[in-house]
Chains A and B, each alone.
Chain A
């Protein structure tokens, strides 16, 4: 069936970022259509843990976006908190050695200067916060702003709350451009959608969508495995991870790096996350990756040794070469906006991204300076090749 629809803005991607863009654009008074080649939350959103973190971000534009986003998440949670399993549980970053603790404390001091709440925790204090942590840790930092949502539910409910028209199972084959270059909608495999603005919230597929609009955006996939245990009574209260996670997130290395982020969930299972490796779109099981996750998790929480892993899943975190997302209008294609490349932080950064996009779409001054997120910041020569 082919039909032609008209609206103010087409959001490509029914994942978390697309849902947030739709919500804030609709609240700004725009009529929104969301198009996805798959179902809701079919990509990275459906393969993530739902981390809303400030703790892992160094001072800079990404941290500013995270602070903006976490405030908006707290607002959103007033309305949808239970439906999206929002939990303001806080994060606890631990250091194994005095040296690691020194670096962690220095990192936290810089974060505090940037507006993050980061409370030092002594070695003894760790067990007051997390009674089942391994003995012998040097200390840590508590981040009460860190929170969690169930990402697929969050995307689905934000989309519903937006009231946007949702077209799933439709692939955008081309972003339509007028003779002068301005965007005028999208062509899908089942008809066109006419709109003066198109938002690229296509996640790992964002580079391909940009290409279908005739512009370059070097989005690359980084594979991550998450281990999921059998359901347990609540035993882990925070998002707990080792201080070396911060270094891994910012890493440029293609090799596998793991540092366990361990957390309980509302539904009972413990999630152990965040292996990271660049292997293109290879989804096949990597036992070395899940073994490393298990080793890291049991080192932090020895009781997990006897707990069973029920499953593990791989997801692909979309990233750009400088590890910052692309957010905002694309000067190379008037009417095209990008909202992708958030790597492993997309759930947390979605609300702020959605707000910034809505502000750009309606000609308002964005709440943050968008210069670091400019989509045209990558000259062609720096394009990396995804293996």
Chain B
């Protein structure tokens, strides 16, 4: 079915864009892999779970109800459980390729004049000894279990790593009845005041979480890190140690915290696969966009975490601006930015916050020192840190060559999980890695499209 605008991703950015464009007469198709719209931020419990108070687990519930009601009232065509693997430029515009069904085997296409990439981000987890034990989950994964499945991952949890996500995860677990033994944050608290001015807008939110943590007696251990997870069959505890000013462990500060769950996260990375395959210019690890959220590929916009990790408020603002821009551009006119001035102010402020947070929450400088040679770095291909170091000794020198020599990042997840770790071990900055297929595609689906193209 033809549409004017195909929006990929039904999180805050995609929803805001869809509503902004639909309200102004653009035919919008909103596509998402999940069964319900909302994205990770507004992830909804499955209807069958009959959640009595789903809002209890959510931040900014009113924003969500406004988006949800707008979606219900408007004429946005919503395609859930559509797993997009690629976007293709065609003579008539753009074609979004997705896979349907429980096994993601059935192809589906959406033809559109414009595409908005609102693909969000994914969590980074850096390896440490024991991190592959059952019971170790990502911070975002723990949150998704709470929000989407209304289940808790365990009874006693440690939340660890770095980044603003750890606070709501710890607070959410505690509220759900999990004993949170500690929130272990590798950033130092004394760095926060330096950014007090730019972070001022964030404080009420952080203060709210802090109050909840206090109420549940969750110890906040700043400038500490998990050096090892223990257990044979599954997790039984973690060793936590204090960090010195250079990111090294202070000798003698190791302490064992018994727990059956470790929720760990080291920040977010943007999903840029679709943009890269389309040939959009990237700015470092993010999709480069102009003031209207346009990429440099005609007909392709991007908004939300894909253009830089900055949270839901930024995603909403960018999505709104993108939606308004699409409306004007599809009519062949230049938009008037004054129409979205409030959103532009939110965007500017939120980007400053994101930059400040990014400088506060960084993994400790010497985390690779604590990754022992037998620690698995790439779980898909079972590549150890020792194998990565061996590849470096063979002359690899960069993450791509490490991948070639070790197969790290060549497996099912295509390096989404291990890429930052491999780059860190190689001593280089993470670079966008080319993933022409945003998810695995059956060869039969590709072959079927070949015959449709009329080749022999």
Contact = CB atoms under 8 A, between A and B. Distances in A.
B61 interface: no
Contacts of B447: 291, 294-295, 297-299, 305
A287 B438 CA distance: 13
Q: Which of A40, A292, A299, A310 has the largest count of B CB atoms less than 10 A from its CB?
A: A310
B441 A308 contact: yes
Interface string B440-456: 11111011011101010
B441 to A, nearest CB: 5
Contacts, number: 128
Interface residues of A, number: 47
Contacts of B451: 295
Determine the main DSSP class of B at the interface with A. loop
A39 B405 CA distance: 11
A168 B395 contact: yes
B247 interface: no
Given A287-B86, A305-B442, A168 B412 contact: no
A159 interface: yes
Contact of A292 (B88, B434, B450): B450
Interface in A162-184: 166, 168-169
Contact of A305 (B396, B414, B443, B455): B443
Interface string B310-353: 00000000000000000000000000000000000000000000
Interface stretch (A129-137, A149-157, A195-203, A320-328): A149-157
B412 A230 contact: yes
Interface string A58-79: 0000000000000000000000
- A14, A228, A294, A299, most chain B CB atoms within 10 A: A294
Interface residues of B, number: 37
Nearest to A287: B88
Contacts of A285: 86, 277, 436
Contacts of B441: 308-309
Interface string B256-281: 00000000000000000000010100
Contacts of B440: 230, 308-310
B401 A310 contact: no
Interface string B186-227: 000000000000000000000000000000000000000000
B443 A39 contact: no
A117 interface: no
A6 interface: no
A298 B401 contact: no
Contacts of B404: 41, 46, 152-153
Contact of A39 (B105, B396, B411, B446): B396
Contact of A311 (B395, B437, B443): B437
Nearest to A47: B404
A294 B396 CA distance: 31
Contacts of B177: none
B197 to A, nearest CB: 41
Contacts of A307: 442-443
B292 interface: no
B449 A39 contact: no
**Of listed B88, B440, B442, B455, residue having the most chain A CB within 10 A:** B442
Contacts of B395: 14, 39-40, 156, 159-160, 166, 168
B400 interface: yes
Contacts of B446: 290-291, 293-295, 309
Interface in A338-361: none
Q: Count chain B CB atoms within 10 A of each CB in A156, A168, A292 and give the residue with the most.
A: A156
A297 B455 CA distance: 15
Given A159-B394, A228-B410, 6 more contacts: A39-B396, A230-B412, A267-B381, A291-B447, A294-B446, A308-B440
6 contacts: A41-B404, A169-B397, A267-B407, A295-B447, A306-B444, A311-B437
Interface of B: 86, 88, 105, 277, 279, 381, 391, 394-398, 400-401, 404-405, 407, 410-412, 414, 434-437, 440-444, 446-447, 449-451, 453, 455
